[in-house]
Amino acid sequence: MGKPTGFIEYLRELPVDRTPNTRVKDWKEFHHHMEEKKLRQQGARCMDCGIPFCHTGKLIGGMASGCPINNLIPEWNDLVYRGLWQEALHRLHKTNNFPEFTGRVCPAPCEGSCVLGISAPPVTIKNIEASIIDRGWEEGWVVPEAPAVRTGKKVAVIGSGPAGLSCAAQLNKAGHTVTVFERADRPGGLLMYGIPNMKLDKQEVVLRRIKLMEQEGIKFICNAHVGENVEPEIFLKEFDATVICTGATKPRDLPIEGRDLKGVHFAMEYLTANTKAVLDGGGDKSPITGKGKHVIVIGGGDTGTDCVGTAMRHGCKSITQIEIMPKPAMERTADNPWPEWPKVYKMDYGQEEAAAKFGADPRVYLTTVKKFIGDESGQVKSLVTVEIKWGKNEKGQFVPQEQPGTEKTLPADLVLLAMGFLGPEQLILKDIGVEVDPRSNIKAEHGKYTTNVPRIFAAGDCRRGQSLVVWAINEGRGAAREVDRFLMGATDLP
């Protein structure tokens, strides 16, 4: 423990973000870096607890508590405090293949279970993590590490999101020859097209890492849609093992009156089209735009926030985010104790930007949409909302109950459905003959990752359902370990 009194001497500090009114004018990342002196002070706040809950990675109350990939957080906090940055990077890479991703987009359940957080603001773990890896890239410490010996075994990974990438990286490290199949025109999956550029830069962060993976010997095949232009049989004929990491990409729909009107889109349609436009020349060229429109986002999670931030950069006329859940408390409540994930109110970057321009948080709570209303050309022009309260039905289940007399009509030129995902798309699963569970996820036991089809494994959201990037990395690494064990009879992969 480098500084026994650090948590007493130093207050929690984060780098200052670019101002909302400035950052909405471009698609660049909005975080500034913090100077080294302050980063070392933040590292000193780590208490080096006897039992560090920050890296436990447990599910408590259905939510992550601690780091699902078991990052050695107290160790690299101490190394940062001592100025031993390269050693800190080495510790970080022991458990995390892609800290530049998690350091930007992970919601940081580690901070929610930080022991210091019981009585004071927690350690800035996420920012320190991002600073370590960014320093590593800047200093040239992150270099290709191809395996010295190849095993002669060929493994296919279907999907190049965080689960697929971490699985491929680990299998390649074990010496297997890995080919990653991606149906989009660029690799990265969720990291490429599900998260906007201002939150995770595609060229300077995502593609930089993928290029390094290629230098290590991993082959990426894009525009490869299994079941359409890639025959499923090749995975059983040409590969010794295959890992399905396609994610949970089937969006939850809202089948109400007017759903077929033009201008009503799934969130991922909007975000994907925009990121492609940004990479191909500019967000103003996106075929789905919020420019000059009244934009309604239905859903209150990270995807909804990303839609808000994107619409702000398009130059929307107004923005409203509709959330069916109640507004969170300002502080932990008695039924949400540490080390559970703190369900407290906060404004993310998208809401901050909307508030800066329009004067208030764009979210409305305990509200749902009853119908969409269009004009004579079939274009959505407004929608009707109604307030709800949560109560038990005759089966004892908590369900939303409409409150009569609370209907409102809101202008809406663009509606984005960001209500989560129901599971993996089924085409590829039917083609390969993989069994699914009652929730339509691939049936494969956590820790083993084997499906009913010999030599076919599954990991990530397609197996566990919609989840966090860190859980996807956890599963990708775990599946790689089991594939290596299957192929070689034993494994040294962590």
Domain of 322, in residue numbers: 253-419
Q: Which residues have C-beta within 8 Å of that of residue 403, sequence separation ≥ 6?
A: 386, 387, 388, 389
Q: Which residues have C-beta within 8 Å of that of residue 29, sequence separation ≥ 6?
A: 104, 197, 198, 199, 200, 201
Residues 282 and 406 in one domain: yes
Predicted pLDDT of residue 331: 94
Does 169 map to a domain? yes
Does 494 map to a domain? no
DSSP, res 205: I
Ranges under pLDDT 50 in the chain: none
Beta strands at 367-374 and 398-402: parallel, antiparallel or unpaired: unpaired
| 3-state secondary structure (DSSP) of residue 18 | coil
For the chain, what is the total number of helices (H) and then of strands (E)?
A: 17, 18
Residues 399 and 334 in one domain: yes
**C-alpha triplet 170, 173, 179: angle, nearest 5°:** 70
**C-alpha triplet 345, 311, 268: angle, nearest 5°:** 85
Residues 160 and 216 in one domain: yes
Final residue of a structural domain among 392, 419, 446: 419
Residues 218 and 135 in one domain: no
Q: Give me the residues paired with residue 372 across strands.
A: 383
Predicted pLDDT of residue 216: 98
CATH, residue 435? 3.50.50.60
**pTM for this predicted structure:** 0.94
Average pLDDT across the chain, whole number: 95
Residues 266 and 415 in one domain: yes
Predicted pLDDT of residue 62: 86
Residues 380 and 408 in one domain: yes
Does 179 map to a domain? yes
Alpha carbon 234 to its chain centroid, in Å, reads 30
Does 147 map to a domain? no
Considering only CA atoms, which of 232, 240, 297 is closest in space to residue 271? 297
Predicted pLDDT of residue 426: 77
Residues 79 and 174 in one domain: no
Residues 386 and 324 in one domain: yes
Residues 350 and 216 in one domain: no
Q: Report yes or no: 301 and 418 within 8 Å, Cβ to Cβ.
A: yes
CA dist 220 and 179 (Å) reads 6
| 3-state secondary structure (DSSP) of residue 442 | strand
Considering only CA atoms, which of 255, 208, 276 is closest in space to residue 422? 255
Predicted pLDDT of residue 227: 85
Number of domains in the chain: 3
- Structure tokens given for 149: 């010996």
Residues 272 and 240 in one domain: no
Q: Report yes or no: 251 and 421 within 8 Å, Cβ to Cβ.
A: yes
Q: Report yes or no: 419 and 254 within 8 Å, Cβ to Cβ.
A: yes
Residues 413 and 267 in one domain: yes
DSSP, res 121: P
Backbone angles phi, psi at 122, to 5 degrees: -70, 170
- Structure tokens given for 88: 């800190």
Considering only CA atoms, which of 126, 128, 117, 116 is closest in space to residue 47? 116
Residues 231 and 299 in one domain: no
